Amino acid sequence: MKLLINNVRIHVEIHGDDGPVLVLLHGFTGSIREWDPFIQSWKKDFRVIAIDLIGHGKSEHPMDFKRYSMEDAVRDIDEILNYFNVESAFFLGYSLGGRVALSLAMTYPNRVKKLILESASPGLESEEARSKRRQQDHQLADRIKVEGIESFVTYWESIPLFAPQQRLPEAKRDQLRARRLENSTVGLANSLRGMGTGEQPSWWGRLTELTVPTLLVVGELDQKFCVIAEQMSERLPNSRMVVVENAGHTVHLEQIKKFDKIVIEELHNRKDV
């Protein structure tokens, strides 16, 4: 279904009729379809709400990049919870979706029962790093607009962060590429400009305030985000970290069964939160 949320149509899917609510937030260039391998498992005990973030999947992609800010993305999710009369929920976010989920927890802590953050970060700590990343993201956004979605996806697949995906079967890689190509140039470019890592608020200085139970999931082959997760776990007062063997940045894609087991065990162990 498409909901009119703060004047933008956001695509949302509901799976399961009963149980605690689990909200799923995908990564950059992704969509709701990222979670297809898990829906049958998770909907048995949870009411799953999967969301296409603004500019992604079947959600609308406005021309004004300012509407893509992290603050607006968080308000959108708050309004979606209101629409479904959900007071609080479990949140699972991957990469960009993890940054959104963490931002929601920092902004509306009463909305979040617990967080599962896969390959996510609190943004960048220094203003110098944020400024440099903003410049890089704006340049990449310009490249998307000029070269088009297919050229960009080819480039995106080749960056070192996703090197472990090359070990996936060809059929899975083709499926992943097809999902990425379903996005629009405007949506992806404006997502980078509006809520890229350098543009979003940095939460590093406030992680000690977040008491929500938090699970940090990273792949052992993704050394950059292993380091980030370790640094986050040192500051988050109620967190633990799981490193998944033989996985890179996209743990949920590269190790489906292990990821499913991690999520189910964590949610069942902490249902009473």
Cβ proximity of 91 and 105 under 8 Å: yes
What's the pLDDT tens digit per position in 12-50?
Answer: 999 998 899 999 999 999 999 999 999 999 999 999 999
250 by DSSP, 3-state: which? coil
Q: How many domains does the chain have?
A: 1
- Asked if pLDDT for residue 89 goes beyond 60, the answer is yes
Count, residues in the chain: 273
Per DSSP, the three-state class of 89 is strand
CATH number of the domain residue 160 falls in = 3.40.50.1820
114, 238 Cβ separation under 8 angstroms: no
| Nearest-angstrom CA–CA distance, 122 and 102 | 7
- pLDDT value of residue 58: 97
**Over pLDDT 70: what percentage of the chain?**
99
CA distance 203 to 173: 33
Write out pLDDT tens, residues 136-178.
Answer: 999 999 999 999 999 999 999 999 999 999 999 999 999 999 9
pLDDT at position 272 over 90: no
- Going by pLDDT thresholds of 50, 70 and 90, the confidence category of residue 9 is very high
Whether the predicted pLDDT of 246 surpasses 50: yes
pLDDT the model gives residue 45: 93
Domain extent, residue 47, equals 2-269
What sign results for the dihedral spanned by CA atoms 130, 131, 136, 142?
positive
CB 152, CB 188: distance < 8 Å: yes
User: What predicted TM-score, i.e. pTM, was given to this entire model?
Assistant: 0.96
CB atoms within 10 A of CB 215: 22
Burial of 161 (0-12, 13-18, 19+ CB in 10 A): middle
